[in-house]
A and B are shown apart, each in its own frame.
Chain A
Amino acid sequence: MRDMRRFRAEIELPVQRFGEARVYWDQQGRWVLIKDWLLPPGLNRETSHVVILISEHYGYGAPLGDCFIDPELKALNPATGRYEEIPHYFIRYPYVEMKVGSPEKWFKARWRYLCLHQQAGADMAINILNYLHQLYKFLAEPFRDWGSTFASYHRTQ
């Protein structure tokens, strides 16, 4: 069960940031929609709508890990100089279990799933705005090998 008091308090942050007219959410706290979210440079579009699915145990340490964005986004690959398909950006929701709707419904509504999971215990406040910050940074460099980039800071003692 989500901590709805936490959710209702937290939703004020994106409302303040983006304005009431651009932020929508489910009364059960299952999702948040931000309209016309500004994308980083290097993509073939300047904005996208974003839906963040809110974890079932959000507010009790569960991180955020699922979002949908507009279809047909491509990113400029600096290695090739061409706009290419974004990694981890799925036409259909790729997992078996889905808590909100069905993969078919999301597909028909013209959403694409982007697989970006916050890490629990990553020493960063888990909240909707921080998730958006991470999404922005991923999309700023979508072809980066993020796993090895993060791992390069793990010292071998």
Chain B
Amino acid sequence: MAEIVKDGYILEIEDIPYGQPVTGREIQERVSRQTGEAVPGVPYVQRDGRLRHLRAEEPIILRPGDRLGFTAPFETA
């Protein structure tokens, strides 16, 4: 199951298994459900030291060693 760093703790998210496609929105919803609070921002996957953020409907197949996180919204100009 996927791991996420939240508030300095590493959590295992039971509803997000490896080897199956999952979208950014599903990651956000499942992490919110397990942690019991809404998770703001956009999920990202850290793989081999690189970050890849996910749009809401963008799927990804997670694998062992991937680390999930969230990025709060910001603005650029």
Which of A40, A88, A119, A146 lies at the interface centre, i.e. has the most chain B CB atoms within 10 A of its CB? A146
Instruction: Contact check, A40 vs B41: say whether CB atoms are below 8 A apart.
Output: no
Complex CA gap A133/B41 in Å reads 13
Complex CA gap A144/B40 in Å reads 19
Instruction: Contact check, B50 vs A40: say whether CB atoms are below 8 A apart.
Output: yes
Task: Give which listed residue, B44, B55, B57, B75, contacts A137 with CB less than 8 A.
Answer: B44
Instruction: Contact check, A123 vs B72: say whether CB atoms are below 8 A apart.
Output: yes
Q: Inside 8 A of B74's CB, which chain A residues have their CB?
A: 116-119, 122, 134, 138, 146
Instruction: Contact check, A117 vs B57: say whether CB atoms are below 8 A apart.
Output: no
Complex CA gap A156/B55 in Å reads 15
Name the interface size band of chain B. 20 to 34
Which of A65, A87, A124 lies at the interface centre, i.e. has the most chain B CB atoms within 10 A of its CB? A124
Complex CA gap A85/B29 in Å reads 35
Q: Inside 8 A of A137's CB, which chain B residues have their CB?
A: 44, 51, 53, 71
Top 3 A-B pairs ranked by shortest CB distance? Answer: A124-B72, A152-B56, A123-B40
Residues 132-153 of chain A, each 1 if its beta carbon lies under 8 Å from chain B, else 0: 0110011011001011111011
Which of A87, A147, A150 lies at the interface centre, i.e. has the most chain B CB atoms within 10 A of its CB? A150
Q: How many A-B residue pairs have CB under 8 A?
A: 73
What is the CB-to-nearest-CB distance from B30 to chain A, in angstroms, rounded to a whole number? 14
What is the CB-to-nearest-CB distance from B65 to chain A, in angstroms, rounded to a whole number? 16
B20 at the binding interface (Cβ < 8 Å): no
A19 at the binding interface (Cβ < 8 Å): no
Q: Which residue of A lies closest to B28 (CB)?
A: A153
Instruction: Contact check, A141 vs B52: say whether CB atoms are below 8 A apart.
Output: yes
What is the CB-to-nearest-CB distance from B40 to chain A, in angstroms, rounded to a whole number? 4
Task: Give which listed residue, A40, A116, A140, A149, contacts B55 with CB less than 8 A.
Answer: A149
Chain B contacts with A in 8-64, Cβ cutoff 8 A: 24-25, 28, 38, 40-42, 44, 49-53, 55-57
Q: Inside 8 A of A122's CB, which chain B residues have their CB?
A: 40-41, 72-74
